[in-house]
Amino acid sequence: MSTASNVNRVTFEEYERLHEDDRCELYRGELLPMTPGTPEHNNIRDEIAFALRAYVKQHALGRICIETGFQLAKDTVLIPDVAFVTAEQVRNANLKRAAFLHAPVLAIEVVSPGNTALEIVRKRELYLSTGAKAVWVIYPELGHARLYKPGQPPVEQKVLADDELFPGFSLAISDVL
């Protein structure tokens, strides 16, 4: 584990210059390498993303992103498994940068065996405190999701749905596992 004395701090500008193959998140100036997802993890991520992408495209709401960076603070970039950004956010973004310069409207994290509870809580809180309207945390081993919104208690569900963001959309967790 790193300590303040042995961590080489990285700025967002340095982060942007990393090679595309160097898959890392940036947390408080520290590069955190991302391990590749398992085939199971990637399939769950893709099933959710593709279902949401079809809905979002049909309703011209914006864009669904898979493993795309979001700068949440000057020294923090997180890469959710799936994210939603509005059409306006896409229009105003420089899509050639390493990350969107804001939180996604929705961040989705698929929990893997290698994820720690602290890591998931930290990410969830960062998304919500920097402007995300919702965070969906998918627990494949448990067969459910927890849906989080700012200032509200979490809701445990077996169906992914949010009538505020995606009226009429629903996707059963069992359909993606």
Entry pTM:
0.91
Q: Tens place of pLDDT for every residue, the chain, 177 residues?
A: 444 445 678 888 888 888 666 778 899 989 888 888 899 999 999 999 999 999 999 999 999 999 999 999 999 999 999 999 999 999 998 888 878 889 999 999 999 988 999 999 999 999 999 999 999 999 999 999 999 999 999 999 999 999 999 999 999 999 999
* Lookup: tokens for 171: 């996707």
Phi, psi for 91 (deg, rounded to 5): -60, -35
Q: Which amino acid is at 142?
A: L
Domain residue extents for the chain: 37-175
d(CA 78, CA 105): 14
Tell me yes or no: is domain 37-175 CATH 3.40.50.1370: no
Length of the chain measured in residues: 177
Q: Select from 123, 144, 127 the least CA-distant residue to 34.
A: 123
